[in-house]
Structure 1
Amino acid sequence: MTVEIPNIKSIAIIGAGPGGLASLYEFLHTNKDGTSTIRDPKSHTAPSPGNYPKAADPAFDKIVVFEQKDHPGGIWAPATLEADLPVPPQEILDAENYNDPRYVRPRTEVPEGVKGATVDKPFVTKGEPNTKSGNFKVRKQAEVPETEVNKSEGEQLIDELQWKRTGIFPFLFTNIPQRFTRFSYLPDEEEFHNKQRKIYPFLTHQELSQKFTDFVEQENLLEYIRLNSAVENVAKDKDTGKWIITVRHPQQNGDNLWYQEEFDAVVVSNGHYTVPYFPHINGLAEYNANFPNQLIHAKSFRDLEDFKDKDVLVVGGSISTANLLQYIVPVAKSVTNSKRGKHLVFAYINDALVSKGIDPRPEISYIDPKSGEFYFTDGTLGKYDKVLFTTGYHYHFPFFNPQDNYLSLVNPGNLSRVGGLYLHTIDQKDPTLGTVGIIVSHLNFHTIEASAAALAGVWSGASSLPNVDPEQKKWEDDLVNTRGNSLFFHFYDNHGAKEIIDDLEQYFAKGRYNPLIRDGEFVDEIDKGSDYLEKLFYGLKDKTIAIEETNDWKNETGKGEITKTEKSTKQDSEIPLLQKGVAGISVAEVPTTVPA
């Protein structure tokens, strides 16, 4: 027995980051007969990977990608110096639920009157001057009580609580070798295999951002993407069986254009690096009120001057912890690191976090909000000028009503897992709901590609899903028993990623090759890359390598250039509802149907 899938002709994709772009590309290359034009690269006649022809007889008539930013690329969209809030607003901190994504990124109230509004004839909510949102308010999940934020404050906060700005800082470089920061069908450029590059085998963030810009332009993907379009609600119409997507398009004068659109299937690819996680610590809320501008999440890190000659506490023990410590130690007066346990992914990090210039401490027990002293579980204490949280992010899907029970989180936090998925990709409750980007791996681009390819195969009718009960549920239960009920449920290292990619391959469209068919023989490069990361860490921390040698961002032009602001100078009347925002591409309305 297999799961019956309705005839799918229209697909909504939430998010134009790596997951959304991979999904769009896959759907555009799938034919009605369930065949893929992304054939085995070893037998493909193109001069280089890529250049695959779009489907001659496309399986899907309408594909729309909704992106809340003004550029595609997700976390790798061209970066700006503008950052999200360093911590959640004081009102949310005071509610003592700042470790709960339902408070930090609450649902948005959909206004009455939006029903029947279309992309061509949207419903308009008027905003007040100098406010960043329209006439709507912050809404918590059904089981979460309202905080004591009054409506006007809530209106002003709503845009900030989208957490949509990038976490990229000016001199960032990647931590995965270049070969695996690309989809398998894109070129593996020889220039990035030059061992004379100071950051070999990695890329600057500008270089990776440019790869996405080039990919979008060369494949004409932007015509399917609606920028500055926040999906605020996703619901299934029980009568029609269609998904109803409610979209908000903010204007610079504070107005918002709202509309609804229906689709046969939905891909959730809103990323895992958007909503920052702050651990709950006794005294933190009052400390922030008494000592403002001292707490900051890694997502909002931009300027080393903020840490110069300061006593700094860095909370966390992850790759981002080491990534920021290598820059902070040389400029700070003192650096303390508080973490809860060993790092399990990059082995060098455990030694790095206790190396010269870093005072290691265990977890924080509590903060004295009056004196500003931090007490640790070993009985020691310290007082700091700046406290940086490198504590990760939440999975979060605020556009779903919690009562509908789609993509429910198990143990919400930075180590939560997403429940009810088959192969981390297909919702067991409704096979017309898919996710791309839930898997966490050294080979993220390849696992993303595999999830997208599986959805294309299933939704085009090329492959069939096994019954939910017992097959799909058994797969999930077995994995929970093996890996536990946490983020590690979704984790596959560079040697284990083949397992999940092979499992997904059975659902690919016909002829679609396995993403590791060529790149799989090079997965050891990830292990070697860890050695390079270690050398770069000590070189930067001990000042034998200058930042400018790894990313001369002050002199960078063009490639993913960091700019002072992401705000346009156009008047509202000049901004169409659907607009393109990639450098070098003109602003224009976007068609909502896939051209034949």
Structure 2
Amino acid sequence: MAPRYQSVAVIGGGPSGISAVKALQEEKIFKTVRLFERRDRVGGIWHYDPVPDVFPLKTQADSKPTSIPSKLPHLSPPTPEDVTARTAIYDTLDSNVGAKAMSFSHTPFPPVNSAHSTKYLGHSNPTRPFPSFNTTVVKAEKKSGKWVLTLRQSGHLVNGELKDYWWEEQFDAVIVASGHYSVPFVPEIPGLKNAVAKYPNHFEHSKEFRNPDDYVDKKVLVVGGNVSSADLVADLHAIVKAPLELSQRGHNEALDSAWNLPHVKVRPTVSEIKTSTRGINVHYSDGSVTESVDKVLFATGYKLSYPFITPDPVTPNNRVAGFYQHIFKIGDPSLALVGQVRAAISFRVYEYQAVAVARYFAGRNKASLPSPREQDQWEVDRLQYKGNSPIFHEIKPDFKDYFDFLTELAGPPAPESNSYLLAPWEDKWAEYAFEILQLKDKYWRSLHRKKEDFVSAKL
């Protein structure tokens, strides 16, 4: 039996891309599987970059889209580094997902390792079928029934000079697994652009954070109300010039113990940022002001970014439109996303998505996708349920329904494959996933008790 698609490209070599390559190879039916990764190795965001990305507004004015040469193949001068390829990993970062759920089902973390420290979060090497590293996918466009990828690979030494090599490759299908934690999101705030221009070193995104030592005895404002904000507050509240200011539009109630840590002052949304001869002053929606702020640290998440897909599926509301179950392009399932979900128990969901896609591409499945009309209706219903925002891609609390869909679509492995049967959803996986947050909550509460004991002793 021939597969639905003979040749498949995988874009991205992080956890979701590794999962896709592994699943495709195990089907033992595809003529060509190619992996394209813009870094020099697999692993994605789990690599540590000592020099971080820079605050988006510092480079926005200078950023220009890369023009594609009129004739390919082509050699060109080196393209400036895409700093969004640098990761957000820092020394003290912990995963917020328990190791039992964070790992792939086929490769659990060794029990001797830490339950949550990222220094132990390695990656499984894929079988690496024809990988192309240091390669950026500049464009992916469907032409005459084929996906045409325009590619640029850096690091070619020609006559003693470094050059970029440009070329095209064609595929029957494409899996985009490039992740969604690369391009920082910073809210539009009146006065911010001018303040960054005048005091560029006063502003950072959480992606730039590397070491708490950089904030000792400084007046700091953290903006954000979710996991990354909680981690930063926990790292900084005891070392900055008190109080640590915390601005929130909304907040995750499961992290209340972090928001109420000692020396933390919760503020409403930032309404404006003004500059003075002494630095920057932050104004809030309730009329209050924090003067002479040394550091504003935005823990405000990331923008979805698939600029190479033609047409670009990312909406102004920061969601991906037109993909059934966050995976298959409606009307053309030869384009699939793996990893475009939130609150879904990584890496397990990447693994399940990858296996389901690989078996659909292989034509193994007894189950088929619903009609394009039914898929469109799924998106309409999803918008009514989750809203037109990044939360559209949030799987929580419907873990079972989503994993059931993936296991049903994947079906059993073919006898001639090297694949395996996906285990059915178990409620304990969600419990495993939230173990680390529970431990953190316990630790944060202990800090509250220490403060209360200290105050009682003084009285």
Superposition TM-score, scaled by structure 1 size: 0.69
Which one of the candidate residues 397, 404, 421 is aligned to 1:502?
404
Aligned to 2:177: 269
Three-state SS of the structure 1 residue aligned to 2:412 is coil
RMSD (Å) for aligned C-alpha atoms? 2.5
CA contact (8 A) 2:101 2:432 kept: no
**Alignment partners' CA distance in 2, 1:491 and 1:518:** 17
| 1:174 alignment partner, one of 95, 102, 105 | 95
Q: What's the offset of the Cα at 1:466?
A: 3.7
1:255 counterpart SS class:
strand
**Residue 7 (structure 1) shift:** 3.7
Query: 1:488 is matched by which residue type in structure 2?
Result: I
2:256 corresponds to which of 346, 350, 359: 350
Match of 1:525 in 2: 432
SS of the counterpart of 2:39? coil
Report the equivalent of 1:362.
Answer: 268
Q: Is the 8 A contact 1:501 1:514 kept in 2?
A: no
Verify the 8 A CA contact 2:141 2:148 in the aligned structure 1.
yes
Query: Under a length normalisation based on structure 2, what TM-score does the superposition of the two structures give?
Result: 0.88
Q: Give the deviation of 1:71 after TM superposition.
A: 2.0
Partners in 2 of 1:539 and 1:224 — Cα distance? 52
| Alpha-carbon distance in structure 1 between the residues aligned to 2:325 and 2:420 | 18
Is 1:283 aligned to 2:186, yes or no? no
- Taking a change above 3 Å as real, the CA distance of residues 63 and 6 of structure 1, as seen in their structure-2 partners, is closer
- Partner SS state of residue 251, structure 1: strand
| Bigger strand fraction | 2
Deviation at 1:487, TM superposition (A): 1.9
Deviation at 1:355, TM superposition (A): 2.7
- Provide the residue aligned with 1:126 in structure 2: 77
2:456 maps to none
Indicate which of 525, 535, 553 corresponds to 2:442: 535
Cross-structure match for 2:13: 16
**Hey, what does 2:138 align to over in structure 1?**
232
Cα distance in 2 between the residues matched to 1:11 and 1:501: 24
**1:190 maps to which of 111, 114, 119:** 111
Partner of residue 461, structure 1: 363
CA contact 1:290–1:370 (8 Å) conserved in 2: no
Identical residues among aligned pairs (%): 29
Query: How far apart are 1:328 and its partner, in Å?
Result: 1.2
After TM superposition, the structure 1 stretch with the greater mean CA deviation from structure 2, 244-253 or 59-68, is 244-253
1:448 matched residue in structure 2: 350
Deviates more, 1:524-533 or 1:426-435: 524-533
Give the match's secondary structure for 2:134.
coil
Q: Deviations over 1:312-344 (max 9, x none)?
A: 01111110001111111222113100010131x
Distance in 2 separating the partners of 1:518 and 1:225: 32
Paired residue for 1:388, among 284, 287, 297?
Answer: 297
Q: Does 1:400 align with 2:309?
A: yes
Cα shift at 1:348: 3.4
Structure 2 CA distance for aligned equivalents of residues 227 and 329 of structure 1: 41
Instruction: Supply the distance in 2 between the matched residues of 1:270 and 1:342 (Cα, whole angstroms).
Output: 28
2: CA distance, partners of 1:91 / 1:492: 32
Q: What is the match of residue 420 of structure 1?
A: 322
CA 1:88 to 1:465, structure 2 compared with 1: closer, same or farther past 3 Å?
Answer: farther
For 1:86 and 1:426, locate their aligned partners in 2 and report how far apart those are by CA, in whole Å.
33
1:244 aligns with 2:153: no
Structure 2 CA distance for aligned equivalents of residues 485 and 514 of structure 1: 35
The whole-number CA distance in structure 2 between the counterparts of 1:422 and 1:481 is 15
Q: Report what 1:410 is aligned to.
A: 315
Aligned length: 436
Q: Is 2:51 the partner of 1:82?
A: yes
Kindly state the Cα deviation for residue 88 of structure 1 after the two structures are TM-superposed. 3.2
Distance 2:49 2:372 in 1: 47
Q: Which moved more, 1:20-29 or 1:300-309?
A: 300-309
Partners of 2:148 and 2:423 in 1: CA distance: 36
Structure 2: distance between partners of 1:485 and 1:515: 31
Shift of 1:18: 0.9
d(CA) in 2 for partners of 1:539, 1:23: 42
Task: State the secondary structure of the residue aligned to 2:378.
Answer: helix
| Larger RCO: 1 or 2 (CA < 8 Å, sep 6+) | 1
CA–CA distance in 1 between the matches of 2:449 and 2:130? 47
CA deviations on 1:486-543 (whole Å, 9 max, x unpaired) are 22221122x5212111112222153366645376544322344322021344568999
Could you say if the C-alpha distance between residues 177 and 235 of structure 1 is closer, same or farther in structure 2, counting changes exceeding 3 Å?
same
For 1:2-39, what per-residue CA distance to the aligned partner results, in whole angstroms no more than 9, with x for missing partners? xxx98411111110011100001111111xxxxxxxxx
Letter in 2 for 1:410: T
- Partner Cα separation in structure 2 for residue 525 and residue 91 of structure 1: 41
Q: Which runs of 5+ in 2 are unaligned?
A: 414-418, 452-459
Look up the equivalent residue of 1:268 and give its one-letter code.
V
Instruction: String of CA shifts for 1:423-462, please: whole Å, max 9, x gaps.
Output: 1110003110000001112412222112111211211112
Cα distance in 2 for partners of 1:91, 1:419 equals 25
Distance in 2, matches of 1:534 and 1:348, equals: 8
